[in-house]
Amino acid sequence: MNYADMFRLEGQVALVVGGGSGIGQASAEALAAHGARVVVADARLEAARQTAGRVQAAGGEAEAVELDILDGAAVRARVEETVGRHGRLDTAVTTPSINVRKPLLEYTDEEFERVVMLNLKGTFHVLAEAGRAMARQGSGSLIAFSSIRSLVVEPGQGVYAATKAGTVQMVRALAAELGPRGVRANAIGPGVIDTPLTAPIKNQPDWYAAYGAKSVFGRWGKPEEVAGAVVFLASRASSYVTGTILFVDGGWTAVDGRFNPPL
């Protein structure tokens, strides 16, 4: 075992869905920095192009494509196109999510369907289509984004939390089903990370400060602090890791309560 090369990704092809901003952008840049050829996919083509440009400016290999993960046929076509162009697909990362923060009893059917369709069904489309391609080639790493909300909740997070818990269970099922064919499936559970999804909280100082204080580091996380987990799960360093969720949450899920007792 050459431990120095365990995290290197030369010769690999990675599809990063949601790569136009936030954690997806940082993931694309980190994978490319470790040697992967990255296909940056996003519903906003211009955002994907900007990320691909950042990768190329740093000396990496990347291309930008448009992709709406709510369109299962489009996801299938994009995966097939990637494999056709590059001959393989080694890693698939899916990050897109939305949240409607309101009490469950106030949710409308339209809001429920919008959150569930993108967070759960859209994630399913990516995992299923990439999983099929990887199963055919006999190797690959599926990486889905869950959340601390898969484990802990607060008022207003019920539907979002349900989708994130569901993502973990899909990953576990895929790990069981595809493991014999050489494919790994894992989830990452970020804590509070400064991204476009959490931007509304930043505009409310008390809320923003309270979330930062819940971390044992007393601050929010950055997208690049999550990207390392993506590289790990894409690399040979995690060759015996499957069916699990890796929390990157600054200790949020480890620390009980909101009060430090006098000791």
Question: d(Cα 101, Cα 98) in Å, to the nearest integer?
Answer: 10
Helices (H), 98-195: 109-116, 123-137, 158-178
DSSP 119: I
Catalytic residues, by residue number, are: 160
Helix/strand/coil for 53: helix
DSSP 239: T
| Residue 62 φ/ψ, nearest 5 degrees | -155, 155
Helix/strand/coil for 241: coil
Structure tokens belonging to residue 144: 């889905």
- Per the CB < 8 A criterion, the answer to whether 25 and 19 are in contact is yes
